[in-house]
């Protein structure tokens, strides 16, 4: 197979799988006490510790529900990738 066919196949598979993703309406809310972008950023940053804690306690969650939706998700993503070091560790040059 050529590289172009593999890339197109992977893109088509990713598009097909992402079309199935949805969030139930009960998980979305609005108001001053509902987590938004800044809480999503914080929750993304502390994700590794929250995940470990959630293995031992049912009172600890890694993702807030209900939340404001897209802005919370965007903050969560930035918290995991940027603040959590995801992009830093992924960009390190490997010396073999």
According to the 3-state scheme, what is the secondary structure of 52-93?
HHHHHCCCCCCCCCCECCHHHHHHHHHHHHHHCCHHHHHCCC
| Residue 28, helix vs strand vs coil | strand
Model confidence at 50: pLDDT above 80 = yes
pLDDT at 69: 84
pLDDT at 38 (0 to 100): 92
Q: Above 80 in pLDDT, residue 39?
A: yes
**Looking at the predicted structure, is the pLDDT value of residue 56 above 90?**
yes
Q: Where are the domains of the chain?
A: 25-90
**Whole-model pTM?**
0.61
Residue 14 has pLDDT above 90, yes or no: no
Residue 44 has a pLDDT of 92
């Amino acid at each position: 197979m050529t590289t172009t066919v593999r890339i197109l196949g992977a893109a088509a598979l990713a598009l097909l799988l992402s079309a199935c993703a949805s969030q139930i309406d009960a998980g979305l809310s609005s108001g001053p006490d509902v987590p938004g972008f800044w809480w999503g950023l914080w929750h993304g940053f502390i994700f590794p510790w929250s995940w470990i804690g959630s293995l031992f306690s049912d009172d600890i969650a890694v993702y807030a529900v209900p939340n404001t939706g897209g802005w919370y998700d965007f903050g969560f993503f930035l918290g995991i990738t940027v603040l959590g070091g995801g992009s830093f560790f992924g960009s390190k040059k490997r010396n073999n």
